[in-house]
Structure 1
């Protein structure tokens, strides 16, 4: 797999019938290693190891319904009170992040109301903080580290 713009992390792999899988420590199972999954697993480890988010507050690949359509978000981090702190949209490294990507995460966030958004293809990372009052988002240089006092 392609080297990404994240720190180096160690992963568990399994080869079954010539399909390589990577262990997802949040879902506690091996999942087929696709380019987007490679980005998702790096991002999860980045959020845990670099940003200090507890695994217990992280949720990966869950379904949500928007306008009667079933969608899946990549990563959500909850606050201890159950509200959503951060939502992450992961794309494969070859996928260009453009306005459509931001529109997608913004649509998901109409339902989830995350305070922070992150969009990444593993090479480029974009961070936003929601301004619900003015119905817009502000770009940030980084997302804040986990703070237990939230």
Structure 2
């Protein structure tokens, strides 16, 4: 998937000697790490370009897998609360590798999303997950929110 995320201005403050960014989904300030920067860019892109309502996103939601507690970076839900898209964010210096894909696949096994997006801000991998007996489909662009729900 070829995409350069637009440059956005964020609400940033200095707290206790560290930068924090206001997360509009969680409605609070969060440590502004490189990974968080990628997530915040995607939140803005999803809301402003793809038209995803903020209320249909969840950030760092917990789930269990083989007795392990995991957290998803960002999940987009449909109007009934069913997960549609899983976004796995990495810091820009972390390559999107097979292990990142496997990590997202673990989350998919619990959530059963239709779309998976892996991003480090520079490299993006978007795929539509198959129905039974169909191959994985890699996409070049992210559909609108309306199209994600079809």
Name the TM-score, length of structure 1 as normaliser.
0.93
Q: Secondary structure at the match of 1:147?
A: helix
How far, CA to CA, are the matches of 1:135 and 1:110 in structure 2?
16
Shift of 1:115: 0.6
Instruction: Indicate the structure whose relative CO is greater, using CA pairs within 8 Å and at least 6 residues apart.
Output: 2
Number of residue equivalences: 147
Q: Secondary structure at the match of 1:134?
A: coil
Shift of 1:135: 6.5
Shift of 1:136: 4.7
Question: RMSD in angstroms over aligned alpha carbons?
Answer: 1.6
Shift of 1:17: 2.0
Q: Runs ≥4 in structure 1, deviation > 4 angstroms?
A: none
Structure 1: segments with no counterpart, 5+ residues: none
Structure 2: segments with no counterpart, 5+ residues: none
Matched, 1:101 2:97: no
Name the TM-score, length of structure 2 as normaliser.
0.93
**For 1:45-56, what aligned pairs fall within 5 Å after superposition?**
45-56=44-55
| Higher strand residue share | 1
